[in-house]
Structure 1
Amino acid sequence: MGIRGLNQAVQRYGVFSPLSGDTVVIDGPALVHRISDTCIKQRPPGSGFLCHPGYSLLSRMVISWLNELKSHNVNVRRIYFDGYLPPSKWDVRQERLLQLSEHMKTLKSSQPSGSPRTPESAFSTLEDGLTFTKLNGHFHSNILPKPPFIIPAVLEALKHNQVWGPLVSVVPGEADVFCAQDIRENGGTLLTNDSDLLIQDLGATGCVSFFWDIVPVSPSSKGLGMTSCKLSLREINDRLGLTNIGGLRRVVFEKEKGRMRFSKAFQYARDSHEDTLNSLEYQSFIKELELKVYIPNEHPVLGVLSSLDPRISEVVVQALLLEDPGVESLTSDTKTSRGPETLSIFLPILIEDRDKKSTWTVSTNVRQIAYSMLQKFMRYKTSNIIEYRTLDPSTTLAGRKIEIPDLEEMINGCAQLLLTLDKLSRGLPSPDMQWFAFAVYQDFEWSTSEERSPLAATLIGEITRQPENTEEYSWALIHFTAQVQACLYSLRLAKQILDVVRFLGQDLPRLVQELHNRLASLPLIDAWPAVEQVFDQLSEFSNVGGFETITSILGIPSIKTTELLSRHTSGREKRKQDNEMSSRKARQKYVKRSPSINPFAVLSEASQD
């Protein structure tokens, strides 16, 4: 987030002093996004909107940055990550989600054929280390979609690192506020890129330093240690003569309230004779800066939050805080009943084709198992959860209501999921392939029920229609990749919710315990198939008879993929003319046979989330 113009206004009051020998606390999300943005700034010219650093590369860059920091005798006391965003941020969060949703919608119209292929050498020249966060460049943050799982992927890598894992904390609140409290109580320097922290009370000796202000003591040698520009709220207040009129906080309050430039807000705060400091509006502003205790320090759930993804931690904390919905409904307008007082989850924004059904739709049944298990530690049960995937102004920012199954339905769902995984494992030569196979299975299962052609079947046709050196990733491929990732994240959600239930000492039914054990083998996020690998995985899956295994499990007609592919052998020059005609013929042919169960029926485009 940050306060526009604040850093530039007070930068002159910072003092460069040694960072080597100092103790620091790190704003984890800020560091990850800074390194991710810096990577994207160095993309080759003309790169497509899918040209991102891979999760493994990004994790390596973050860990290398931390390792070099440590090598310069900088003591890292803690790395904080958000684990719950307060209700006061609800409206802002919805507005951001709406903006992202609208951007994803326009992306398809502006790039109708897909995204240019990412060169293999796109990020081969990146040089890791501390100075990486100092690099500047132009980043169109409002144009390029970000990879959806960068925070949980890096968190996962950090937690598996022997040095950094013990220092990572996912907290029941906002990371920046916990960083500030740590510095206020224990001293040191807070490393961030968020100018909001400039108005946090960091105690008598605490200060803020931005990632881009960390530099070697000597430009010619890093061996002499590192230094950084440190900003102290108390020193800034003294030098600006603001101590007795509310300090820098007062200036920021006036700036935000009046939408002024910093210089004008500074002058207004100096000259005003109003009793602003005692006004309710100012007190509310100050309250937002304070640490709010949502979960008591003695609550056992704090022992498991750091093993969760932030979005999953958030729904766990919200489940614990949820009040009696019966009491709430008596006083709340039904139009506002989908706010923070209703059990909700903000799912990661996937890069998908907004003209099709949401990629989260296919794996809803898996997430329903997770939501049902949330009830095990909730004070008040609820029959629904609101999923925020993407938003549209016409939906009044309401999210999508998902029914939470009761215990019996949930156990039946577990049994069906386990049975499917067992059948897939027996039908495939490698157990490592079962999770990708399950994502393909869900594609077939949902598409069959909706009388649509599975995206996987469409892509198998693309594999032979397009040359290996095709210059673009099609929207079908992009959408299917997102669908696979949504399926894997849904399984991950179920696994982590079950981790919490077990950690809190709740008993699990036998089948649920079996599912929990099975989910322990889920791949890490950096091993999930990216758009670059999906064609190869589908080809391998086809070669080992994966499609025949799935159609056999579902009891639907099986068509050999070789037969399917033989329909698309026309040359590149004729392809544009032939595609529409062959598609029409295929539709007529398959509809006559079995429109409701044939997995290779022509994919309907008429859908909207």
Structure 2
Amino acid sequence: MGISGLTATLQPYGVSGVFTDQHVVIDGPALAYTILSICRSNGISQPSYDLLGRSVIQWLDTLALQVEQIDAIYFDAYLPIGKRDVRMDRSAKLFIQLMQFCNNSPKGCDIKNLCGTAEDNLDLFTTKQPSTHKQLVPPSFLVPAIIDALDQCPRYRHLVSLVPGEADAFCAQHLATHGGIVLTSDSDLLVHDLGQGRVVFFRDIHASATDTWKCIVYDSKRICERLGLKPSGGNICRFGYEVYRDPHASISQLVQNCSSPIPDEAEYNKFCQQYLQHELANLPVTAQGETVQLRNLDPRISELVLQLGNPTEEIPAALSSESRIFLPVLIENPLRGSAWEPCTPIRQLAYSIYRWLVPGSNSTVHEYRRVQNVGHKGREVSMFPQKEAIELLQSLLQTLQRTKDLVDGVDGISCWTLLCMALNIKECQEQEKQSHVLQILTQSSENAKPTSKPASNPKIPWDTIHITAHLQASLYSFRILKQILSLVPYGAWIHLPAEARELHEALKPLPGFTDFPSVKRTEELLQQKLALEILDLLRNFVDIPVRKAKDKKARMKRKKENKGNGPPTKRFAAPKVGAGGSIFSLLADEE
């Protein structure tokens, strides 16, 4: 995850080079953020997942013409326990960034910050730097969307590896064994033992579509020689440690420190340990003794799968019992309730099914949604008892089939969007809370003027952004459920309830990231005519009162009369749940 100041300190020791005749290994997460940076350098602050996918393939195609061979692209599938505080800190910074952005744009988000323009004219080799002024957080599903794009491309599918550790560690091991160059943004790779391998940072690549790519190459062994770091006096790991201790020290002072006695042996050994012995997670084993494979999982899901797997001697029981999932930071209104909350039961069902597949004593998962500081405790989500889980499976299958039947022949809405809305409203009603989805749909159906197109508006209301986040959170929760079911080996289905396999088949058409609802698409859903149609469809699942025109006039009259006379009364009372009962059980509010 990088040593602050190391790259800048060693920058004078990088040498100019080219990629010709080189074998290359790629740090996958760094590649994903490089593609995002390229999009933002082109003025596209929030690129679509389709654009991100097309761009990474085009970038790799051009790289492939420059090098001898691309050997591998590694993605993290497990976060070492020692790095949890770093993850918490990064998650907190992202959420604070979202809050600051929202505070700076209280009347809505400029459409240019949410939707790209002229996306087909992207310059992958621009030398412009992306603006960091009032930047929105990265796309919520950036890394898994890049993995999906690579997996769908026959040229690169076989190169992608989701590894049970950190990607940089596997890149380092690959170079130590085979040599070559690693492309990364992580300065940690300068401290690993790379054998004859060398490091190139994405930011130091000077590329074009036709000319030979030039770069700055870092060779740790030669850097040690130039710095005069002899085996007896220190090495690159010791140098990295000294930079870690004092990022602002001069080169001469750092070299001198390397030849001095180590001031804190315990701290130094802990620092070196992460580069000498990489923490890996064992692949889980099912109740039938089959090893669970990580292929095609999202990194955040694979992290949880490995944590919920079989216990290991290397990980203390007290820590292994704290299974965590860091849910992506959604682009939502942080002043409203988390969009992850109403769809919690979908994920709860996924965790329960995984526990059927892989036995273990841990029956809870800590979800981290809106991390505000390193000490954040997350939300504890308990797994369902098997009887209740089966009932939920049956109910979900019936609801999914019902939505398919209802939207058949209806233009403008998919069964998945309707399903997400129905479950969202149902869960909120069961918790006696106001559903943001229902609130905005109702307002749109009552207040909007009937038009064939939504009114042009340079700002997207935060209510529209927030309902989009609700839909995306629900779809990603279904993705977690789908991926957990994909782990079941063929021979293990007979040991699970029949409904689990039925749901596995039913979830196969689940939309990918490129088809996740965007704010533009949500705006279309909120047109008066379509909003009315959606409300009529939703009445098949939940109790939604029919509002008459004269009722609206009376409410407006009361609103004028009561203006300035204290807080308004609650507009949407929680309706009674229909006879069909709850689709999902309840959880408490977000911490």
SS of 1:456's partner is helix
Q: Deviations over 1:428-456 (max 9, x none)?
A: 12597111111111222123224444323
Asked if 1:191 is matched to 2:183, the reply is: yes
- Per-residue deviation at 1:126? 4.8
Secondary structure of the residue aligned to 1:26 is strand
| Residues 9, 383 of structure 1: alpha-carbon distance in 2 compared, 3 angstrom cutoff | closer
Residue identity matched to 2:370: T
Provide closer, same or farther for how the CA distance between residues 566 and 41 of structure 1 changes in structure 2, counting only shifts above 3 A.
farther
State the SS of the aligned residue for 1:17.
strand
Any gaps of 5 or more consecutive residues in structure 1?
45-50, 333-338, 571-576, 599-606
**Structure 1 residues 310-355: Cα deviation after superposition (integer angstroms, max 9, x where no partner):** 001111111114469xx94xxx6xxxxxx55412211111122222
On the 8 A contact 1:24/1:188 being kept in 2, the answer is yes
Secondary structure of the residue aligned to 1:228 is strand
**1:405 equivalenced with 2:384 (yes/no):** yes
SS in structure 1 of the partner of residue 275 of structure 2: coil
TM-superposed CA distance for 1:381, in Å, is 2.5
The residue aligned with 1:523 is 511
Query: What's the counterpart of residue 603 of structure 1?
Result: none
Q: Encode CA deviations 1:265-312: one digit per residue, 9 max, x unaligned.
A: 51442552x156x92322221111135353458979877313100001
SS at match of 1:545: helix
How much has 1:70 moved relative to structure 2?
Answer: 1.1
8 A contact 1:477–1:531 mirrored in 2: yes
Q: Residue in 2 aligned with 1:97? A: 91
Measure, in 1, the Cα distance between the counterparts of 2:331 and 2:120. Answer: 26
| 1:552 maps onto 2:540 in alignment | yes
Output the amino acid matched with 2:371. Answer: L
Question: How many residues are treated as equivalent by the alignment?
Answer: 564
1:480-499 pair list within 5 angstroms: 480-499=467-486
Look up the match of 1:427: 406
Moved more, 242-251 or 538-547: 538-547
- C-alpha separation in 1, matches of 2:46 and 2:162: 25
Amino acid at match of 1:374: Y
Q: Distance in 1 between matches of 2:526 and 2:296?
A: 32
Residue equivalent to 1:209: 200
2:304 to 291, 315, 318: 315
Partner of 1:60: 54
- 1:459 partnered with 2:455: no
Structure 2 residue ranges without an equivalent (≥5)? 579-588
Give 1:250 shift.
1.2
Q: Distance in 2 between matches of 1:519 and 1:583?
A: 51
Deviation at 1:32, TM superposition (A): 0.9
Which stretch has the larger CA shift, 434-443 or 12-21? 12-21
Partner of 2:369: 389
Tell me how far apart the structure 2 counterparts of residues 579 and 533 of structure 1 sit (CA, whole Å): 37
Deviation at 1:16, TM superposition (A): 2.4
C-alpha RMSD of matched pairs (Å): 3.5
- 1:315 alignment partner AA: L
The verdict on how the C-alpha distance between 1:441 and 1:450 changes in structure 2, with shifts beyond 3 A counting, is same
Which of 118, 122, 127 does residue 127 from structure 1 map onto?
122
**Aligned partners of 1:37 and 1:139 also within 8 Å:** no
Give the whole-Å Cα distance in 2 for the aligned partners of 1:123 and 1:69: 24
Asked if 2 retains the 8 angstrom alpha-carbon contact of 1:210 and 1:229, the reply is: yes
Equivalent positions of 1:302-341 (< 5 A) are 304-322=293-311, 328=317, 341=321
Kept in 1, the 8 Å contact 2:283–2:309? The answer is: no
Do the aligned residues in 1 keep the contact of 2:189 with 2:199 (CA within 8 Å)?
yes
Distance in 1, Cα, partners of 2:35 & 2:88: 25
Partner of 1:177: 169
Please give the alpha-carbon distance, in whole angstroms, between the structure 2 residues aligned to 1:580 and 1:41. 51
* CA-CA distance at 1:239 after TM superposition: 0.8
- Is 2:82 the counterpart of 1:88? yes
- Whole-Å separation in 2 of the counterparts to 1:504 and 1:243: 57
Could you tell me how far apart the structure 2 residues matched to 1:360 and 1:608 are?
9
Distance, in Å, in 2 between the alignment partners of 1:541 and 1:263 is: 68
2:406 is equivalent to residue 417 of structure 1: no
For the residues of structure 1 that align with 2:61 and 2:562, how far apart are their CA atoms?
Answer: 55
Determine if contact 1:181/1:291 at 8 Å carries over to the other structure.
Answer: no
- Report the more deviating stretch, 183-192 or 469-478: 469-478
Name the CA distance, whole Å, in 2 between partners of 1:579 and 1:89.
58
Match for 1:208: what amino acid?
A: V
Separation in 2, partners of 1:206, 1:340? 34
What residue identity is the alignment partner of 1:71? L
Secondary structure at the aligned position of 1:425 is classed as helix
CA distance in 2, matches of 1:251, 1:596: 66
The change in CA–CA distance for 1:322 and 1:462 in structure 2 (over 3 A counts) is farther
Larger deviation, residues 232-241 vs 35-44:
35-44
Q: Is the 8 A contact 1:360 1:486 kept in 2?
A: yes
1:200 CA displacement: 1.4
- Aligned partners of 1:207 and 1:233 also within 8 Å: yes
Distance 2:408 2:564 in 1: 34
Identity %: 29
CA distance in 2, matches of 1:303, 1:492: 18
Other-structure match for 1:150: 142
Mean alpha-carbon deviation: is it higher for 581-590 or for 292-301? Answer: 581-590
SS in 1 for 2:305: helix
* TM-score relative to the length of structure 2: 0.86
| Partner in structure 1 of residue 461 of structure 2 | 474
Give the alignment partner of residue 223 of structure 2, picking from 206, 229, 236.
236
TM-score, length-scaled by structure 1:
0.83
2:5–2:243 contact (8 Å) kept in structure 1: no
Once the two structures are TM-superposed, the CA of residue 586 in structure 1 deviates from its matched residue by: 9.5
**Which region of structure 1 is more displaced relative to structure 2, 64-73 or 151-160?**
64-73
Q: What's the counterpart of residue 442 of structure 1?
A: 423
Q: Is the counterpart of residue 70 in structure 1 residue 49 in structure 2?
A: no
Alignment partner of 1:243: what SS?
Answer: coil
Q: Distance in 1 between matches of 2:338 and 2:67?
A: 48
Equivalent residue, structure 2, for 1:116: 110
1:215 positional shift: 3.1
CA contact (8 A) 2:338 2:590 kept: yes
